Amino acid sequence: MTLPDERYRAVLWAKKFLTELATDRKKYPRLSKEVRQQAYSCLRHFPDEYHMKVAAEAVPHVFAERMEPLYRMVKKYEQEQESGKEN
């Protein structure tokens, strides 16, 4: 299972990756124009860092900018316990 801070970082990393695909011709020289356009289209409504912070404040159990180490350990333990019950 994914923790809220991992989910938060994943969204920001995905935005960075899509931005590179859409714009960085040196890093990805062989991408087709269609792939670059699709990456750009995905980015049109992608949340930026400001909106992710707002989401983290509104729903901290879904998105968290960062988690205290002890709280993170407890959440991970709870998720492992829930996974064990499902199996």
Reading the chain (87 residues) residue by residue, the pLDDT tens digits are 788 999 999 999 999 999 999 999 999 999 999 999 999 999 999 999 999 999 999 999 899 998 888 888 888 888 888 888 776
Looking at the 3D structure of the chain, how many domains does it have? 1
pLDDT at 28: 92
pLDDT at 41: 96
Distance CA 56, CA 64 (A): 5
Q: Find all residues with CB under 8 Å of 30, minimum gap 6, and list them.
A: none
Q: Which of 61, 63, 54 is nearest to 8 (CA)?
A: 63
Tell me the residue range of the domain where 25 lies: 4-86
DSSP type of residue 26:
T
